[in-house]
Each structure stands twice: as structure tokens, then as C-alpha cells.
């Protein structure tokens, strides 16, 4: 009995060792923890709300050098005290084009409230010049849900209304993956994830490639400019930066 017991114990230990070795080999083969992955690059996050070290600063409050006008070679917006403000001279495009990206934009609607619904602090942030995250004074201002502040305009209402009071500065932090045209003529959907004033309002929602209503550019493309819209209301912008992904 005792010899049989020791034999069975030995066999159990051998089997366990074999299984452990097989699991180790499988783990390494499938990218497990034993693989020597490269170290992630170091990025200085910068000051709170400020651009990280690898960001492209599109507007730092000094000039419009990174933008062109929609209706003229140079933007015709106002520039004062480190802030740019829309005018009826059209929107502005970034001179550089982007695809997948992380975007930070700060904006403010007029402190003196005029109008209601879509007539209060209306503007828009368009990725690739095609896909709009709505800018609107949605503080105590009812409108259709997929047209309020933070909406993927005409498609998805924000999960919550996180709008600050009129005149106060607000932030959009947007993770965007562009729709990609495929060799067979179809489009692989992209996505939007958006935080409004630090609150998640769009959670990896699909972007199928159909441009937003009033988008200045049409068709599916791999890259495109950032477009900030003039919609007839004086909306201010500052601290605009982008990280290509």
C-alpha cells in the first residue's frame, strides 16, 4: 500500500510539472507575461489641461499659423487675450491633416444669453472636416437630444448633459478613430469617445463614414483637417491640441 501511494504521488507531481511547462510555453507563444515587450515611450503629460510633450499645438493663443480660413487663405476670426472667437466669415481648417487622434479643445459660449435651442452658442468641432461633435450652450436650454452640446450631431445624443453655465470655459477631450475605406469598396467603421468637462458623454460610439449634416467635406477619407465651425454665434476657443494615434 505504501509503495503504491508513493508511486501515485510521484506520478501526480510529474503530471503537474508537465502541465506547468505546457502552460508556460503556451503563455509565451500567445504573448503572455514572460514575453519581453518593448518599454512604452515616455511622454511628459505637461500641466493639467496643457498639452503633453508629444502633442501638436494647433492654437496657443498667439496666432492662427496652424489654421486656414474656410472662405479665405487666412482665418478671419477675432484674436484677443489668447482667445479666438468665431465671426460670420466662415469656419477655420487646420493646415495639417490627421486620422486617428486624441483632441483637446476648450470653448465658451457667450456669457450674455441670446436666443434658445440651436440659436445659443452654436458651433462645432469636426474631425476630418466631416464628423461633428456639437458645440452649444445646453445649460438650461432644451433642444433635440442629438443636437445638444457633446452630441455626435444627428447621430448620438450625449450620455449626460455636462454643460457649464454660459460664458464659462468648457473642455472636450475626444478620442477619434477614423472610418477606413476598404479595398472591396466598403468602409470599416471608426469611433468617438468624448469627455465633456471630464465627464464621459460618448462611449466608443460607431462612426460609419457618413458625414455630418453641414460638414464642409464629404466622402470617406483616411485623413482630413480639424474644422471649427462658424454657425452665426460668437463662440470662443482656446488651448487646442492634438495627438496623432
Please tell me the predicted confidence (pLDDT) of residue 22: 52
SS3 26: helix
Least confident of 7-21, 89-103, 160-174: 7-21
Q: Report the phi/psi class of residue 140: left, alpha or beta, with left for phi > 0 and alpha for psi in -120 to 50.
A: left
- Summarize the confidence of residues 75-99 as an average pLDDT: 97
Residue that wins the pLDDT comparison between 226 and 16: 226
C-alpha cell at 128: 476630418
Q: Name, in order, each residue with C-beta under 8 angstroms of 202's C-beta and a sequence gap of 6 or more.
A: 133, 150, 152, 156, 158, 159, 192, 193, 194
Please tell me the predicted confidence (pLDDT) of residue 6: 47
Residue 12 has φ and ψ, to the nearest 5°, of -65, -45
Q: What is the pLDDT of residues 48-74, one digit of tens each?
A: 878 999 999 999 999 999 999 999 999
The H or E element that residue 224 is part of is: strand 224-228
Whether 88 has a pLDDT exceeding 50, the answer reads yes
Rounded to an integer, what distance in angstroms lies between the CA atom of residue 195 and that of residue 221? Answer: 25
Mean of the per-residue pLDDT values of the chain = 89
Please tell me the predicted confidence (pLDDT) of residue 46: 87
Please tell me the predicted confidence (pLDDT) of residue 26: 52
Residue that wins the pLDDT comparison between 183 and 11: 183
Please tell me the predicted confidence (pLDDT) of residue 28: 47
Q: Which residue has the cell 462645432?
A: 124
Q: What is the pLDDT of residues 188-209, one digit of tens each?
A: 999 999 999 999 999 999 999 9
Total number of residues shown for the chain: 245
Q: What is the pLDDT of residues 30-49, one digit of tens each?
A: 555 567 899 999 999 988 87
Residue that wins the pLDDT comparison between 208 and 9: 208
Kindly report the number of other CB atoms within 10 A of residue 43's CB atom.
11
* C-alpha dihedral, 110 to 115 to 120 to 123, nearest 10°: -100
Kindly report the number of other CB atoms within 10 A of residue 111's CB atom.
12
Nearest to 216 by CA among 47, 11, 40, 70: 70
C-alpha cell at 119: 440659436
- Summarize the confidence of residues 131-156 as an average pLDDT: 97
Please tell me the predicted confidence (pLDDT) of residue 47: 85
- Summarize the confidence of residues 207-222 as an average pLDDT: 94
- Name the pairing type of β-strands 236-244 and 224-228: unpaired
Amino acid at each position: 500500500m505504501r509503495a503504491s501511494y508513493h508511486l501515485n504521488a510521484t506520478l501526480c507531481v510529474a503530471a503537474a510539472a508537465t502541465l506547468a511547462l505546457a502552460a508556460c510555453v503556451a503563455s509565451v507563444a500567445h504573448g503572455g507575461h514572460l514575453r519581453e515587450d518593448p518599454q512604452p515611450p515616455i511622454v511628459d503629460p505637461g500641466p493639467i489641461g496643457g498639452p503633453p510633450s508629444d502633442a501638436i499645438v494647433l492654437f496657443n493663443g498667439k496666432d492662427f499659423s496652424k489654421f486656414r480660413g474656410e472662405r479665405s487663405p487666412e482665418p478671419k476670426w477675432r484674436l484677443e487675450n489668447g482667445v479666438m472667437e468665431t465671426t460670420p466669415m466662415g469656419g477655420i481648417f487646420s493646415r495639417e491633416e490627421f486620422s486617428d487622434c486624441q483632441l483637446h479643445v476648450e470653448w465658451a459660449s457667450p456669457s450674455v444669453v441670446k436666443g434658445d435651442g440651436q440659436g445659443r452658442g452654436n458651433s462645432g468641432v469636426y474631425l476630418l472636416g466631416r464628423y461633428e461633435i456639437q458645440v452649444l450652450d445646453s445649460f438650461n436650454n432644451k433642444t433635440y437630444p442629438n443636437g445638444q452640446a457633446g452630441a455626435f450631431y444627428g447621430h448620438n445624443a450625449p450620455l449626460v448633459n455636462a454643460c457649464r453655465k454660459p460664458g464659462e470655459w468648457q473642455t472636450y477631450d475626444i478620442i477619434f478613430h477614423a472610418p477606413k475605406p476598404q479595398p472591396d469598396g466598403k468602409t470599416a467603421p471608426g469611433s468617438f469617445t468624448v469627455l465633456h468637462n471630464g465627464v464621459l458623454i460618448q462611449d466608443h460610439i460607431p462612426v460609419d463614414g457618413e458625414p455630418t449634416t453641414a460638414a464642409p467635406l464629404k466622402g470617406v477619407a483616411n485623413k482630413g483637417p480639424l474644422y471649427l465651425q462658424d454657425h452665426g454665434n460668437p463662440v470662443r476657443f482656446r488651448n487646442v491640441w492634438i495627438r496623432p494615434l
